[in-house]
Amino acid sequence: MNRQLNYRLVSKALFLSGALFLAGCVSIPESIKGTSATPVTDLNGVFVAPELYIGQEGRFGGRVIDVKNLQSSTRLEIAVMPLSQYDAAPELQQPSIGRLYANVMHFLDPTDYKNQYVTVVGTIKGVETGKVGEASYPFLRIDVTGMKRWTLTQQVIMPAPVMTWGYYGDGPYWGYHYGYGGYGGYPYGTGQVVPVLE
């Protein structure tokens, strides 16, 4: 009975600490927070009925496909990807879900932005037809008020330790099992190198 009670208490404690940790990880950079508590992020929804979204604030991101410098602005062509709910960075493992033209009201050097990952926030202006190769393709247009260029890095993810019941010394215990029988080592696998945006 005590063993079962202890297990429940430990499980609840781990769940609550995990939830608090994740809540603390929600950290959207100031440059792309925007002015709305809930900017539009559903690109497909905008394409279905663009007239409903004109003038609203949107937040989108992805990989910059092309940079076009105009007389007093720069237009970024972005292959849009889903954004992380924690920091609004493009989700690298997700495919493109569409295209947008992001109009930035100053000069951007193409060498600094082409093939880079960005998130933009700004005013939705509508949808226009552009080209992807020789094919006609709809592009969302947005006037940018804030932007974040992300840095692609690599991170090592280690497998999580396992919570086990066992014996140590004279009595039973609950605890994280990091090694073989609690004597060091890391039997749960090697770390995995994954690309991340920071």
Sequence spans of domains, the chain: 30-149
Q: How many CB atoms lie within 10 A of CB 8?
A: 9
Q: What is the pLDDT of residues 131-170, one digit of tens each?
A: 999 999 999 999 999 999 999 887 777 777 665 555 555 5
Tokens of 6: 């202890």
pLDDT at 165: 58
Per-residue pLDDT, averaged over 57-68, amounts to 98
Residue 28 has pLDDT above 90, yes or no: yes
CA–CA separation, 141 vs 129, rounded Å? 10
Question: Apex CA 80: angle with CA 44 and CA 63, to 5°?
Answer: 175
Query: Which residue, 78, 82, 80, is CA-closest to 65?
Result: 78
Rounded distance, CA 98 to CA 100, Å? Answer: 7
CATH architecture of 30-149: Beta Barrel (2.40)
- Position 2 pLDDT exceeds 70: no
Mean pLDDT over the full length of the chain? 82
Residue-wise pLDDT for 76-134, tens only, equals: 999 999 999 999 999 998 999 999 999 999 999 999 999 999 999 999 999 999 999 99
Give Cα separations from 106 to 13, 75, 188 (angstroms). Answer: 50, 10, 51
* The pair of three-digit structure tokens given for residue 155, joined into one six-digit string: 């991170």
